[in-house]
């Protein structure tokens, strides 16, 4: 089974539909399987006290102005949905509250996503699981007990899912990746396990691919110097192209694990071992 590669647009579009479309095109040209966004109901996710605090941004002087500036509404999502269909690439989004999950439902996306921050939100998990769509569940900032509880919610209603090993630092230092958790999660939950990376390079993602992950998610951007908290942990177009190309090569190189003489080795064997056979 091929690794399902997700280009995480998130909020790197900076509220600009044209940037979002350009990122979707970048993902399609690179050979990604899907693009992913994030959806929030600002007043449900953030406290009024926080939203009223000062924060300079391209949209104003408060936290509210910044966060509202990054959110797409219904018309923008309709446009993105149509654009993805025209390009032939799947899209879905991680909802950060129940209302946002209900909002996304109208687009009938094939997949759902639980962000690491939301893995302890029982009401949201139940809402997502009720849809019975294949769900990617990121495990950053979580204990095994918290992951146990989330997995139980999805198993209880027979909602298909896979976990995604994650470390929620932006950008993540390579030494913090702890990729051996992929095997730990796979053995404990008897499920597919992917990797959602926030590192700046490609080597850690390559290593994850070699460990047998079933999905790979990386943030993407047009330019890491753009405004936004996720930009520095994102891949620019050239990096995304390199990632997808290398992962597809790694998949081929892993093979099926059967130890035997490859047909292409037969003539080489005859040539290099010929003197041995003559002496028999």
Look at residue 107 and tell me whether its pLDDT is greater than 80. Answer: yes
Average pLDDT taken over every residue of the chain: 97
Task: Answer yes or no: are the C-beta atoms of 114 and 135 closer than 8 Å.
Answer: yes
Supply 102's token pair: 């209900």
Residues 6+ away with beta carbon under 8 Å from 227: 14, 57, 58
Which residues, in sequence order, are bridge partners of residue 111? 134
pLDDT (tens digit per residue) in 77-96: 999 999 999 999 999 999 99
In 3D space, the residue among 135, 184, 194 whose CA is nearest the CA of residue 164 turns out to be 194
Determine the average pLDDT of the residues in 151-177: 97
For residue 154, the model assigns a pLDDT of 98
More confident residue, 183 or 280: 183
Supply 147's token pair: 């992951």
Q: Phi then psi for 11, rounded to 5 degrees?
A: -115, 20
For residue 261, the model assigns a pLDDT of 96
Task: Write down the H helix ranges in 88-230.
Answer: 98-105, 122-129, 144-156, 181-189, 203-210
Task: Quickly name the fold that domain 4-279 has.
Answer: TIM Barrel (3.20.20)
pLDDT (tens digit per residue) in 26-65: 999 999 999 999 999 999 999 999 999 999 999 999 999 9
Residues 6+ away with beta carbon under 8 Å from 272: none
Place of tokens 């929030």: 40
Q: What angle do CA 229, 208, 232 make, to 5 degrees?
A: 15
For residue 67, the model assigns a pLDDT of 98
Give the integer Cα–Cα distance in Å for 91 and 109: 7
For residue 204, the model assigns a pLDDT of 98
Give the integer Cα–Cα distance in Å for 91 and 96: 17
For residue 1, the model assigns a pLDDT of 79
| Pairing of β 54-57 and β 60-62 | antiparallel
In 3D space, the residue among 227, 226, 204 whose CA is nearest the CA of residue 218 turns out to be 204
Q: For residue 150, how far is the Cα from the chain centroid?
A: 18
pTM of the model: 0.95
pLDDT (tens digit per residue) in 3-33: 999 999 999 999 999 999 999 999 999 999 9
Confidence of residue 190 (pLDDT cuts 50, 70, 90): very high
In 3D space, the residue among 168, 174, 162 whose CA is nearest the CA of residue 141 turns out to be 168
Confidence of residue 278 (pLDDT cuts 50, 70, 90): confident
Supply 175's token pair: 């030494």
Task: Answer yes or no: are the C-beta atoms of 70 and 63 closer than 8 Å.
Answer: no
């Amino acid at each position: 089974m091929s690794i399902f590669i997700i280009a995480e647009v998130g909020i790197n579009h900076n509220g600009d539909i044209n940037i979002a479309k350009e990122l979707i095109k970048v993902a399609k040209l690179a050979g990604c399987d899907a693009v992913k966004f994030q959806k929030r109901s600002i007043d449900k996710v953030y406290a009024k006290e926080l939203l009223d605090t000062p924060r300079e941004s391209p949209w104003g002087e408060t936290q509210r102005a910044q966060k509202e500036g990054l959110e797409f509404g219904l018309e923008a999502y309709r446009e993105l949905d149509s654009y993805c269909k025209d390009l032939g690439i799947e899209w879905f989004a991680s909802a950060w509250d129940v209302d946002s999950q209900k909002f996304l439902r109208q687009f009938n996306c094939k997949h759902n996503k639980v962000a690491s921050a939301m893995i302890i939100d029982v009401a949201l998990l139940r809402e997502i699981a009720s849809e019975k769509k294949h769900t990617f569940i990121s495990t950053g900032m979580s204990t095994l007990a918290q992951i146990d509880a989330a997995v139980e919610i999805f198993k209880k209603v027979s909602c298909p899912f896979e976990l995604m090993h994650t470390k929620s630092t932006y950008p993540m230092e390579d030494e913090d990746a702890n990729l051996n958790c992929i095997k730990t999660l796979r053995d404990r939950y008897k499920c597919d396990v992917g990797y959602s990376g926030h590192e700046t390079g490609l080597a850690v993602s390559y290593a994850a691919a070699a460990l047998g992950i079933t999905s790979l998610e990386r943030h993407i951007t047009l330019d890491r110097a753009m405004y936004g908290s996720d930009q520095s942990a994102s891949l620019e177009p050239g990096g995304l192209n390199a990632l997808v190309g290398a992962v597809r090569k790694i998949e081929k190189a892993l093979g099926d694990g059967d130890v035997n003489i490859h047909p292409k080795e037969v003539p080489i064997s005859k040539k290099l071992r010929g003197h041995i056979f003559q002496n028999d």
